[in-house]
Structure 1
């Protein structure tokens, strides 16, 4: 950027700064939302429920399939967001 361009766009600096901060907040929120770790914890808890006999094999299989789908979805989105940052 040339000196003249910098001088002419100087009044827009606060706006650019605010937009950058908002972009960072959105990115951080999305990374947290798509974090796969809570789903991994749910899978571990589900396995413990099965081992403790609190749920049947059929219930375990059904819920495990749902959680694995969720985990795959979150991991894909999380990778995309990390590539963006």
Structure 2
């Protein structure tokens, strides 16, 4: 009986589980030291190339570092 009543909710449960898995993956990537290092290097290269200002560089670095803490 539970299976019959629960069957219509299966797609919703699947979407919820998929969302949870995606959130876990994003959190892992935000905290991965190699990924953080790459993002910081990209910011540094953008500053060296003149694509961003010193203020934008500082703000971007702070965002990356704050992402590691959450």
Partner of 2:33: 36
RMSD between aligned alpha carbons?
2.4
The structure, 1 or 2, with the larger RCO (C-alpha pairs under 8 Å, 6+ apart) is 1
Offset of residue 63 of structure 1: 0.6
Q: After TM superposition, what 4+ stretches of structure 1 lie above 3 angstroms from structure 2?
A: none
Partner of 1:48: 45
Structure 1 residues without counterparts, runs of 5 or longer: 1-28, 75-85
In the alignment, is the contact (CA less than 8 A) between 1:39 and 1:70 conserved in 2? no
Alignment deviations for residues 28-74 of structure 1 (CA, whole Å, 9 cap, x no partner): x77x9242211110000100100010101111111111112223x27
Q: Give 1 or 2 for the bigger CA radius of gyration.
A: 1
1:68 pairs with 2:62: no
In the alignment, is the contact (CA less than 8 A) between 1:39 and 1:67 conserved in 2? yes
* TM score, norm. by length of structure 2: 0.51
Between the aligned partners of 2:61 and 2:32, the Cα distance in structure 1 is 18
> What count of residue pairs does the alignment treat as equivalent?
45
